[in-house]
Structure 1
Amino acid sequence: MSDRAAVTSEETTDKQDAYANFDASADHDAESETEAGIAPSTTGWEWTQDELIAEIRESFALIEPHGPAAAAWFYDHFLGANPRYRKYFSDEPAIQHRRLFQAVQRIVSDLDRLEVFLPYLRRLALRHRKFGLRAAHYQAFGASLMATVANFCGERCTERTIAAWETGYGLVATVMLEAVADADSVAPPYWEAEIIAHEALTGDIARIVARPLEDTRLPSAYQFRAGQYAAVETAALPRVWRDFSFAGQPGNEEIEFHVQLGRAGGVSEVLVRQTAVGDHLRVAEAEGELAFPDPDRVARLLAVAHGTGAAPVYALVADAIAEGDRRPLTVLLVSDGGPHYLAEAFRALADKHGELTIEEIVDDLAAAVVQTHNAATGPGGGCGAVLVGPSAMVDECRSALLTAGVAAEGISSDLFD
């Protein structure tokens, strides 16, 4: 989600990558030396855009009902053909399979909407830049993709079908590799960062402040926006990256995360229990689009945040105050028990804001969301919303807001799972 100042448990906050979770920079064989982009299919087929999209979508319709099985089959084929990459994968294959299939679904769905398709591919490529992926890895991935298409389309898979997927995947790979090449020329894929503060906010939540160190090869300051997040790697768990939101404001030399204790042996547990001042982290470039709607679109705001999901919301509110945005804003804080750990910090922001209301919600969140929206949408315009938390909570709140009349484009969200 965004520079998620909220780091939550592995089970609820960790984001998995859609493609292979491996660090190709560790491989220096002949395959990883291939740097050229993958060209579209050279099978000799001639396509109009409509014909190409139709062929891909018609064949994907045969695969889609078997999504989890197809994703699992793909990874079995990929790792069977490329066993040296197995050590770089996470230990949560079901989540990884789901993320992969969701990415393919989205790409196929957006093939005829380049204004959505191309930015998504670039974001996907930049997200995987920290793994050091190169053209050879995309080629290996593409080979397993073609095998999966052939297997799940069965007798309905023709030479034309494979040629269409090769052409489509060639476009995808070319766009992604070009995005990586552009980014590699101006900034490193991740920054080394030294921890300068580590303190307990509650029994299972730690505040961690780190100072990114400039890369001598590509000197550039670490940059992020309020509401964004970044993937973090610890020395104790090499090649295992987990996403955490930024809790602090941009514009200084420090980054802040609020990390909730996760499963034993996970990145969150390492950060909370096994990390101290002076230790180093790797922090990938900032990602995410979480933001309040612009003032010219809505006059009132609502934010709903679960647990450490309040951290990026806190950063957004602090940034809004700094920018002079004093639109009426209600923040609903949701915790699993007891007072919310950031409630007092938000109340301090309310004194500076002037139009900020803080409420802690124990149950019936959807009703509270609708009530807040209805109370806010008097004269002066509609309500825009930011939702941060587990997918079930976000889906529940989004549905309630849409039913209440909030426009879909007025809702910005960040999922923890």
Structure 2
Amino acid sequence: MDAQRLKDNFAQVAQHGDAVALFFYSDLFLRNPRLREMFPVGMSHQRDRLLGALGRIVSQVDNLPDLVPFVQQLGRDHRKFGVEALHYPEVGASLVATLRYYSGPSWSEELARDWTDAYNLLSKVMIEAAHEDASQRPSWWNAQIVAHERRRFDMAVMRVLPDRPFAYQPGQAVSLEVPARMRMWRYYSMANAPRPDNTLDFHVQLIDGGPVSPVLVRALSVGDWIKLGPPIGTMTYDERSGRDVLLVAGSTGLAPLKAILEQIDARPNPPRVHLFFGARYVDGLYDLDELQKMAARAPWLTVIPAVSDHDPGPAAERGTLADVIGQFGMWQNHDAYVCGSPAMVEATVARLRQMGLSDDRIRTDKYADA
């Protein structure tokens, strides 16, 4: 298997953009009509996810230590869609057909062999990971909403109770499915550390045009049921580092950082923590009161709100999170955790690097449209 040949070929194919995923799924469903019911009615988000996953896999095809954990997680996560070992050859046949079509005259027997070998290896890793996962936990959990509070017209905080124990680490996320949007799984981070009563909190902001978030914010209420996929994510707290902590949260990017904050709060000797919580407007600081109450009883915690798009007066600092953290200190000796929109995360990480914080001390998560 020639890794560079795979990369060059995928770069050529990827120039055709969304047409690649459209061809792939059309071929897959024509060959296997029974598979169509495993996917949502609207496929645009699914096509984006396919291209993103393929791009990441190909870029790391010669870096197995980083690639294998990602592929294993794909295998575990696909259990909730009902994917079984018998489906993998069918997907592989459509993938190769798609690559052949968009490669045109550059397609060769060598490329066909490389792609087939690579896919067979990846599918083996996914199947083994799914099989091991099936011996330890269900494909999904049913969860009932036990509290639902609208913090703003477009934002809600809800609490759910899974029907079975749900083990996870603070900072991780989980995919949610609502009955009104079947098979449209979207990721949200738990906003609390694990509790004895097994309840989970989620912070949801309505995304204009998103199929799932409007249902979560406006249509669901106490007593309704949703589904939870398995927890994923690596933005988890390193309890062994001994360093002070910098948390930078944009809007509902606060959720996983609040879970980490609760984890730190439970330690016998918490490190010094600075939490910067930002939004465009003051009313976007939807959880500030609770954070300030926590800071009032926890001398190790400092909470600094920031507003970027208008003058907040004394309620918060003025500026983007990237600018505000630059005004409040030097963070070279901290561990940083950053979560928010892709633009906010990229700007904040760039500023931290400029200030001398090394990449191995920066953990990030970017929430996606839902």
User: Structure 2 length as normaliser, TM-score?
Assistant: 0.87
| 1:302–1:384 Cα contact (<8 Å) kept | yes
- Whole-angstrom distance in 2 between the partners of 1:238 and 1:73: 23
Q: Secondary structure at the match of 2:70?
A: helix
Matched, 1:272 2:222: no
| 1:331–1:357 Cα contact (<8 Å) kept | yes
Residue 223 of structure 1 aligns with an amino acid whose one-letter code is A
Higher relative contact order (CA 8 A, sep 6+): 1
* Deviation for aligned residue 1:294: 4.5
- Whole-angstrom distance in 2 between the partners of 1:200 and 1:388: 22
* Deviation for aligned residue 1:349: 1.9
| 1:292–1:384 Cα contact (<8 Å) kept | no
- Aligned mate of 1:177, from 127, 130, 135: 127
2:24 corresponds in structure 1 to 74
2:184 corresponds in structure 1 to 240
Q: Secondary structure at the match of 1:236?
A: helix
| 1:125–1:180 Cα contact (<8 Å) kept | yes
Residue 356 of structure 1 aligns with an amino acid whose one-letter code is L
The alignment-based identity, stated in percent, is 31
* Deviation for aligned residue 1:293: 4.3
Aligned-pair Cα RMSD in Å: 2.3
For residues 246-294 of structure 1, give each alpha carbon's deviation from its aligned partner in whole angstroms, at most 9, with x where no partner exists. Answer: 1122032211212223447832222232222222221111111122444
Matched, 1:194 2:144: yes
| 1:292–1:301 Cα contact (<8 Å) kept | no
Unaligned runs of 5+ in 1: 1-50, 215-220
Matched, 1:368 2:327: no
- 1:337-356 aligned at under 5 Å gives the runs 337-339=281-283, 340-356=285-301
Q: 1:131 to 1:387 in 2, by over 3 A?
A: same
Q: 1:194 to 1:287 in 2, by over 3 A?
A: same
Matched, 1:416 2:355: no
For residues 332-385 of structure 1, give each alpha carbon's deviation from its aligned partner in whole angstroms, at most 9, with x where no partner exists. Answer: 11123224111111112213431222122122322223233xx144xxx62221
| Range 165-174 or range 138-147, more displaced | 138-147
Residue 232 of structure 1 aligns with an amino acid whose one-letter code is L
- 1:378-397 aligned at under 5 Å gives the runs 382-397=333-348
For residues 162-194 of structure 1, give each alpha carbon's deviation from its aligned partner in whole angstroms, at most 9, with x where no partner exists. Answer: 011101100001110111111112211111122
Matched, 1:403 2:354: yes
| 1:302–1:330 Cα contact (<8 Å) kept | yes
Residue 155 of structure 1 aligns with an amino acid whose one-letter code is P
Residue 415 of structure 1 aligns with an amino acid whose one-letter code is K
* Deviation for aligned residue 1:199: 2.5
Matched, 1:59 2:3: no
- Aligned mate of 2:172, from 228, 247, 250: 228
For residues 34-82 of structure 1, give each alpha carbon's deviation from its aligned partner in whole angstroms, at most 9, with x where no partner exists. Answer: xxxxxxxxxxxxxxxxx54344234334334444443333233333433
Q: Secondary structure at the match of 2:181?
A: coil
Q: 1:257 to 1:327 in 2, by over 3 A?
A: same
| Range 88-97 or range 146-155, more displaced | 88-97
Residue 176 of structure 2 aligns with an amino acid whose one-letter code is V
1:102 corresponds in structure 2 to 52
Matched, 1:254 2:199: yes
Q: 1:211 to 1:82 in 2, by over 3 A?
A: same
User: Structure 1 length as normaliser, TM-score?
Assistant: 0.78
2:272 corresponds in structure 1 to 328
For residues 98-139 of structure 1, give each alpha carbon's deviation from its aligned partner in whole angstroms, at most 9, with x where no partner exists. Answer: 332221222122223222121111111112210010123222
1:315 corresponds in structure 2 to 259
1:41 corresponds in structure 2 to none
Residue 345 of structure 1 aligns with an amino acid whose one-letter code is E
- Aligned mate of 2:72, from 105, 110, 122: 122
Residue 345 of structure 2 aligns with an amino acid whose one-letter code is V
Matched, 1:287 2:238: no
| 1:300–1:376 Cα contact (<8 Å) kept | no
- Whole-angstrom distance in 2 between the partners of 1:390 and 1:92: 24
* Deviation for aligned residue 1:91: 6.0
For residues 211-253 of structure 1, give each alpha carbon's deviation from its aligned partner in whole angstroms, at most 9, with x where no partner exists. Answer: 2113xxxxxx211111111111222322222222111220322
Q: Secondary structure at the match of 1:414?
A: strand
Q: How many residues align?
A: 355
Residue 344 of structure 1 aligns with an amino acid whose one-letter code is D
